[in-house]
Amino acid sequence: MTKGAHDQTEFAPKPNDKLVVFVGPSGCGKSNLIDWIVGDNEPKWSNNSIVPTAYTEPRAVRTIHPLTKETSLVLVETPGIDDSDDDSANQVARSLKTWLLKHYKKEPCVKAIVYLHRITDNRLTGMAHQSLRAFRDVCFEQGPGQNIALVSTMWDKIDLHDPKEKSVFEFREEELKKNYFANLINQGAVTMRFSNDARSAHDTIVGILSNGPC
């Protein structure tokens, strides 16, 4: 999706806000998915950044909640996690905690944590588990079992009409579910695909908001 220049608007929290926090390594597609969810409304990021990737703290954009039709949905994008730095996930989680405390006097309703990963990546590390533990501690003080979505991206880069190529990546997806993400799924996490289009973005956010606390 083509992105325009984000305007310089300071984020203004509201009491009934429903937050969805997007987490993942740099280049996994967090900004792109958020732009598709927002749609034609130009994102108004909270950190006053004009360049979409030039940010070191969480930023947020308010948009219409697809189920309630109220402007209560807040999409929070966290900085990219560096998988070469063992403490990167904890650093980003701490920056999210600081951001939440700055903007919300009371603990806000975090509907979900969305962890994005590229289905095209050949190498996977323990980053997802480490990252989600760190962010879950910040967002969900009640403990595990909260709303987590594991969203694979880059499906639009794959020729699903080619049987061989399709089978390779569908096999990789199943391996992720059975092995790499098995513990998370057993704790209630859901897996989704994002195909880089409006319909996929809508289905993703509706699926996320249909579950979870508050």
Does the pLDDT at position 24 exceed 80? Answer: yes
Question: From CA 195, how far away is CA 95, in angstroms rounded?
Answer: 29
Domains of the chain: 18-209 (3.40.50.300)
Q: Which residues of 72-105 are buried (b: 16+ CB within 10 A; e: fewer)?
A: bbbbbbbbbbebeeeebbbebbebbbebbeebee
Amino acid in position 21: V
pLDDT-derived band of residue 4, with 50, 70 and 90 as boundaries?
very low
Tens digits of residue pLDDT in 136-178: 777 765 444 468 899 999 999 999 999 999 999 999 999 888 8
Q: What is the pLDDT of residues 177-201, one digit of tens each?
A: 888 888 888 888 889 999 999 999 9
pLDDT of residue 173: 93
Does the pLDDT value for residue 127 go beyond 70?
no
Residue 7 has pLDDT above 60, yes or no: no
Q: Which residue would you say has higher pLDDT here, 10 or 90?
A: 90
Nearest-angstrom CA–CA distance, 156 and 76:
24
